[in-house]
């Protein structure tokens, strides 16, 4: 909302991260996004409506370059419902055609609410540009305080997304204790065959509420695991990418 109150400096924008809601349908203990309840809706910031999107878009779009990204984020962006994104995209498309400048839409979601009603959004609005995240230790993410519920709902939703032809990047964050589970995620994607999904292996950075707690993962540990994954990746030649290995390849080839 600060964006609507203050002038934007004349600058070139390549990425916009749009948080249409701070609320979430999960209640993971480490997350700053409040769970969606009747109380949180009354006391928290309102969720966007179409008019709010239009105000933001009209102010930002002129500064966005051709091919830049508008990323729907949160909270959990799927709480907004499919209609919101279809209406927002229809308006954005009229502006893109009017000014002959086209941008991309993407989404970061936990996927828990995915069903057939979301297919038009995933195929027409974000065009498969989708990422999600999952902790392979399967203990940190919860729905109503229960990690088993979260894991069951996530795996069911991911299978549905894959069956519908989308390949979301699955992001994991690793520390010294769970670094070995990178192989578990690789095995999971590999087991999907042609439905194998892209993987991103991020190292845990002690920031935010964990700032000042010290090194979360040793560089040697992170590097060793990436080398192990690289050896498997070039041997198996699976139909999915691994980040940051793909970025390293690109850097060398460039």
pLDDT digits (tens, 9 = 90+) for 96-132: 999 999 999 999 999 999 999 999 999 999 999 999 9
> 214 or 52: which carries more pLDDT confidence?
52
Q: In residues, how long is the chain?
A: 254
- Distance between CA atoms of 102 and 104, rounded to whole angstroms? 7
Does position 45 have pLDDT exceeding 90, yes or no? no
Query: What is the reported pLDDT for 36?
Result: 75
Res. 46 pLDDT band, cuts 50 70 90: confident
- Distance between CA atoms of 102 and 110, rounded to whole angstroms? 27
Task: Please state, for a pLDDT cut of 70, what percent of the chain lies above it.
Answer: 93
- Distance between CA atoms of 21 and 83, rounded to whole angstroms? 15
> 100 or 45: which carries more pLDDT confidence?
100
pLDDT digits (tens, 9 = 90+) for 146-159: 999 999 999 999 99
Does position 1 have pLDDT exceeding 50, yes or no? no
Query: What is the reported pLDDT for 3?
Result: 47
Query: What is the reported pLDDT for 4?
Result: 45
Sign of CA dihedral 79, 189, 232, 139: positive
Does position 60 have pLDDT exceeding 80, yes or no? yes
* Helix (H/G/I), strand (E/B), else coil: 109: coil
Name the average pLDDT for the chain: 91
pLDDT digits (tens, 9 = 90+) for 147-191: 999 999 999 999 999 999 999 999 999 999 999 999 999 999 999
Does position 42 have pLDDT exceeding 80, yes or no? no
Q: What is the largest CA-CA distance in the chain?
A: 54
């Amino acid at each position: 909302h600060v964006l609507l109150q203050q002038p934007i400096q004349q600058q070139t924008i390549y990425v916009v991260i749009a948080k249409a809601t701070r609320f979430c349908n999960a209640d993971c203990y480490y997350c700053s996004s409040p769970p969606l309840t009747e109380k949180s809706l009354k006391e928290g910031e309102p969720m966007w409506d179409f008019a709010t999107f239009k105000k933001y878009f009209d102010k930002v779009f002129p500064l966005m370059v051709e091919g830049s990204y508008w990323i729907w984020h949160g909270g959990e962006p799927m709480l907004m419902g499919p209609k919101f994104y279809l209406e927002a995209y229809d308006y954005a498309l009229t502006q893109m055609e009017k000014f002959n400048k086209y941008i991309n839409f993407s989404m970061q979601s936990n996927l828990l609410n995915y069903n057939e009603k979301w297919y038009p959004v995933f195929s027409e609005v974000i065009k498969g540009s989708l990422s999600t995240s999952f902790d392979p230790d399967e203990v940190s993410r919860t729905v109503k305080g229960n990690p088993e519920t979260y894991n069951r709902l996530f795996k069911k939703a991911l299978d549905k997304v894959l069956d519908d032809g989308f390949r979301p990047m699955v992001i994991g964050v690793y520390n010294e204790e769970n670094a070995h589970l990178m192989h578990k995620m690789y095995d999971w994607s590999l087991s999907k065959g042609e439905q194998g999904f892209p993987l991103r292996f991020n190292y845990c950075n002690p920031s935010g509420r964990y700032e000042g707690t010290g090194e979360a993962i040793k560089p040697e540990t992170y590097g060793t695991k990436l080398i192990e994954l690289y050896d498997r990746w070039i041997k198996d030649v699976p139909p999915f990418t691994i980040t940051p290995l793909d970025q390293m390849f690109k850097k060398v080839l460039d």
